[in-house]
């Protein structure tokens, strides 16, 4: 769950935590939390030290390990994310509905091989500064209104580098040791959902990473034979933040009821989630890709007050039922 993307609300012993970057296991004093590249290969450094939501968590920095291969989200990535959304709205009359946290632009930099990683930040800072300036300049030429305080940013990044240095490890070797050393329980936590996967989701209304099970291999360097049980987490109804296809959506009092009773708000954006009946076509599709060994069905109690519960069981295309997700 490396990138500052959709938030995750975790409640432990009556205390509520809203996580954006931290793996949920950071609350457990017996667990080591590792941020590799899984599902979101981007680490927004400043959030590690915004500890207002970690009050009461002792020694968290001793339990957190960051992969040296993780890509860094810079402030200008976030600014560009917002500018691109404005551009889409102006050109197409609709945007993607991103969290504006810089995830898309960071992945663009990564794919263009101009991205910068934690290992770059912690090695030769002069070389890092030079590459940072080049990357900033590229974005400034694409977005003339973009303002970047290059010297200020670099000063800040130099400070972050020293703070996180003790937490950084070679991520591939760390995972290899975890898999082959003394027996451990290893839980890989994925952000977002199957239908937001860059390859298999409702493109283009998706995130920029692989949040399906393949992300375990590509994100952490875990060989496929080590992937054991795969748990699908699904609500008893369907929700979506932002725009995109949603056949079972209820834009009526049912949708309002699910939204209010289920406290369906986006943790990162504060937006109301769109709500509708459970879509089994989507669930089956997610299973085709991920091969779930078990499902965790959540929020069944939200439906308690309804006399009738509906479920989407099939899609029709051109009047004919189809066995796949189109």
Separation CA 161–CA 156 (nearest Å) = 9
Separation CA 52–CA 49 (nearest Å) = 9
pLDDT tens string for the chain (326 positions)?
445 655 677 788 888 877 777 777 888 889 998 988 643 334 445 455 444 445 567 788 889 898 999 888 888 988 888 888 887 777 777 776 677 778 888 889 999 999 999 999 999 999 999 999 999 999 999 998 999 999 999 998 998 898 889 999 999 999 999 999 999 999 988 767 899 899 999 998 888 888 899 989 988 899 999 999 999 999 999 999 878 889 999 999 999 999 999 999 876 667 789 999 999 999 999 999 999 999 999 999 999 999 999 999 999 999 999 999 99
Model's pTM, two decimal places? 0.84
Q: Is 58 helix (H, G, I), strand (E, B) or coil?
A: coil
Q: Where are the domains of the chain?
A: 1-188, 229-322
Quick count: other Cβ atoms within 10 Å of Cβ 274? Answer: 20
1-188 topology per CATH: Adenylosuccinate Synthetase, subunit A; domain 2 (1.10.300)
Separation CA 1–CA 35 (nearest Å) = 7
Tell me which residue of 78, 74, 97 sits closest to 201, measured CA to CA. 97
Crossing angle of helices 125-142 and 75-92, in 10° steps, is 20
Q: Which residues form the catalytic set?
A: 110
Q: Is 179 helix (H, G, I), strand (E, B) or coil?
A: helix
Between 3.30.230.10, 3.40.50.2000, 3.90.170.10, 3.40.50.720, what CATH number should domain 229-322 receive? Answer: 3.90.170.10
174-180 long-range contacts, Cβ below 8 Å, gap at least 24? 174/34, 174/65, 174/67, 175/34, 175/36, 175/220, 175/221, 175/222, 176/221, 179/222, 179/226
Separation CA 280–CA 247 (nearest Å) = 11
């Amino acid at each position: 769950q490396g990138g500052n993307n959709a938030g995750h609300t975790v409640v432990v012993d009556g205390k509520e935590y809203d996580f954006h970057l931290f793996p949920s296991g950071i609350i457990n004093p017996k667990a080591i939390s590792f941020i590799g590249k899984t599902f979101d290969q981007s680490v927004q450094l400043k959030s590690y030290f915004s500890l207002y939501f970690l009050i009461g968590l002792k020694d968290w920095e001793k339990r957190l390990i960051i992969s040296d291969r993780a890509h860094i989200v810079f402030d200008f990535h976030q600014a560009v994310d917002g500018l691109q959304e404005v551009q889409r709205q102006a050109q197409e009359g609709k945007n993607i509905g991103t969290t504006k946290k810089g995830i898309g632009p960071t992945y663009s930099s990564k794919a263009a091989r101009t991205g910068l990683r934690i290992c770059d930040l912690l090695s030769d800072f002069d070389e890092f500064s030079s590459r940072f300036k080049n990357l900033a300049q590229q974005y400034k030429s694409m977005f003339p209104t973009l303002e970047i305080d290059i010297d200020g940013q670099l000063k800040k990044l130099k400070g972050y580098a020293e703070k996180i240095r003790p937490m950084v490890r070679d991520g591939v070797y760390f995972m290899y040791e975890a898999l082959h050393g003394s027996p451990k329980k290893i839980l890989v936590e994925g952000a977002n959902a199957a239908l937001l996967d860059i390859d298999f989701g409702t493109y283009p209304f998706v995130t920029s990473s692989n949040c399906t099970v393949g992300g375990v291999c590509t994100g952490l360097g875990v060989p496929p034979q080590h992937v054991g049980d795969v748990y699908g987490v699904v609500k008893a109804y369907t929700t979506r933040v932002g725009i995109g296809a949603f056949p079972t959506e209820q834009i009526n009092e049912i949708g309002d009821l699910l939204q209010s009773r289920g406290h369906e708000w986006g943790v990162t954006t504060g937006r109301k989630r769109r709500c509708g009946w459970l879509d089994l076509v989507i669930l089956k599709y997610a299973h085709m890709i991920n091969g779930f060994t078990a499902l965790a069905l959540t929020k069944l109690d939200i439906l308690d007050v309804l006399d009738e519960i509906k479920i989407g069981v099939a899609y029709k295309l051109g009047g004919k039922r189809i066995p796949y997700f189109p």
